[in-house]
Chain A
Amino acid sequence: MDETYDVIVLGTGLTECILSGLLSVEGKKVLHMDRNDYYGGDSASLNLTQLWRKFRPDQEAPAELGRDRDYAVDLVPKFIIASGELTKILVHTDVTRYLEFKQIAGSYVYRDGKISKVPSTEMEAVKSPLMGLFEKRRAKKFFEFLQGWKDEDPATHQGLNLDKDSMKTVYEKFGLEPGTQDFIGHAMALYLDDDYITKPARPTYDRIVLYTSSMARYGKSPYIYPLYGLGELPQSFARLSAIYGGTYMLDKQIEQIVTDADGKFVGVTSGGETVKAKQVIGDPSYFGAGGESGKVRVVENGKVVRAICILKHPIPNTDDSDSCQIIIPQNQVNRRNDIYIAMVSSTHNVCAKDVYVAIVSTIVETANPHTEIIPGLNLLGPIHEQFITVSPLYAPTSSGTEDNIFVTRSYDATSHFETVVEDVQDVWKRVVGSPLVLKKREVEVHE
């Protein structure tokens, strides 16, 4: 290990793997290491043995769940929003050739004790019990306004300014009821809390457009999902990196991040040897998150509680969907943050036949996170196995441009990967010094 590298990347989570893939394509010499003997870090998908090793090390995985290799249980509940930034990166880097995707079958929202489908067609919208007849007309006007909006054409603005007027003003203009506002802000704009209402309407507009264009793309829900689990995503970007010369080492304990007298990055010590590089990128767990002395490089911004639940049946009241998202808006359960349920099944090659894997999650608000997810757990029916984690959300304390140490963020509570891509773009800009521009993919002709 006496070579020197441009960049050492620590941790093979999706954020780090996208970065090392893109950096390798750019011509950087990358060394990518992980302390685990599997890819994916906190965004891995685990087989039964790995799952039990992580959560119940003193037990064996029960044989009745089926073959170990049939399982790929995600640690974080996220889907890919079809028209989002991750899709663009997947297509541009051509890693789609390693992956196969399926739709998530449905998107549901909880209201007044019941689960209703978020309408994916006009027909469904007309029939939906989510709004009364008159409210449906008002909502229609609201969506026509959004669809017709053109920045350059004031006639489409109906007197509103998306950059100045708050979302509250926009809702009021169309006379939308609080229940409808909840539905739009949480089930479509995918806000986790209500802070957006008093802020300018533009980002909400963008999010609704993203949602509806994603919904329109494949039809059933705005989400797609990779077969064999989310853990396939980091693996595919790791392969991209390797193909462009990236060196991969799993199962490597990182003993020390070595810095010089000025605190600038020098190298990484593993197995008693120090490998040198100009820069280091890594997930928070490699930079003192969760203890460890030394320089404070990460700060905790809240916590997420996640319950991975293995079910032997589809979630009740979801039309026996093989996969779905259910959003419980905060107002419905007197919380500040929404509760999410994400479910996938053997259709996505993540578990044995007739098994369903649901993850209930929310941002922690109290000293008893386990009780906060109960409204979500109650919607699942009998739970066969349950694994609960409470994960701190870490963010870097500095930009890294001073010491060449660039720390990524933890996976947040949002239901998709858009914030992961934002982090990738942010780290890229700090590491490379210029914004990430996805070059046009070379078109390859297959005979």
Chain B
Amino acid sequence: MSKQFQFKLVLLGESAVGKSSLVLRFVKDQFDDYRESTIGAAFLTQTVTLDDQTTVKFEIWDTAGQERYKSLAPMYYRNANCAVVLYDITSSATLEKARTWIRELQRQADPSIVIALCGNKSDLAARRQVTEEEAKKYAEEEGLMWAETSAKSGEGVSEIFTAIAKKLPLTAPPSSSRAGAARAAGRAGGVDLNKQATAQPGQEACNC
């Protein structure tokens, strides 16, 4: 029988490095050159099937722009099982910013979090400011996964998510994790507001 695991994945990185584009490529295999800043989706989900019929469902949280002015809420990091921290290979400053986000993750997130550092916009190699060696060396020092990706061409995108899926602890269903919290509620003595709201029979004495 196949096993399914669900994990919360958070995206981090400087504005305009392509966080939403990377997810859009991964989830819908689309790319939009003039994509506006993130709008509209609470989070997206995508499933990766591993070789042994194990499936890993990612619940992917985008920053919704809250990274811009020091305003990401602790809720964002809470119970994240994995993180993709992006920089833009054509801008050294974005790698510096990625380092800051990684320090923030090490401070705020669960110590067991799997972190992947991603150099996006690999299709723009002609304007490269960050060398592969430099980024790779930093990732090794910090014990991070590393890859270059292009949300535009799709290069390396599904590969990095699959690599993350393989690195996650697939030993027991992550029941303590809050990935898919609302839908999974009830599991640990929680209450599901949505379910109760619709399942409530007209027992109400209220006549208003």
Chain A residues packing against B (C-beta within 8 Å) = 37-39, 69, 82, 87-88, 90-91, 94, 96-103, 146-152, 206, 209-210, 212-213, 216-218, 224, 227-228, 232, 235-236, 238-240, 242-245, 247-252, 446-447
Contact = CB atoms under 8 A, between A and B. Distances in A.
B30 interface: no
Nearest to B184: A100
Contact of A98 (B42, B47, B189, B200): B42
Which one of A87, A101, A102, A447 has the highest number of Cβ atoms from chain B below 10 Å of its Cβ? A101
B38 interface: yes
Nearest to B183: A446
B173 interface: no
Given A242-B64, A242-B65, A243-B38, A251 B70 contact: yes
A94 B73 contact: no
Interface in B159-208: 178, 181-183, 185, 189-191, 193-194, 196-197, 200, 203-208
Interface of B, helix, strand, loop or mixed by DSSP: loop
A344 B126 CA distance: 57
Nearest to A444: B42
B34 interface: no
Given A91-B193, A248-B69, A98 B181 contact: yes
B206 A94 contact: no
B66 to A, nearest CB: 5
Interface string B22-40: 0000000000000001111
A307 to B, nearest CB: 25
B185 A100 contact: yes
Nearest to B76: A239
Given A101-B185, A239-B64, A248-B65, A227 B190 contact: yes
A249 B71 contact: yes
Given A242-B66, A446-B183, A101 B193 contact: yes
B1 interface: no
B78 interface: yes
B206 A101 contact: no
B74 to A, nearest CB: 7
A98 B207 contact: no
B3 interface: no
Given A240-B42, A248-B69, 5 more contacts: A96-B182, A97-B182, A100-B181, A244-B39, A251-B70
B73 A247 contact: no
Given A87-B193, A102-B191, A239-B73, A147 B205 contact: yes
Contact of B65 (A82, A101, A151, A247): A247
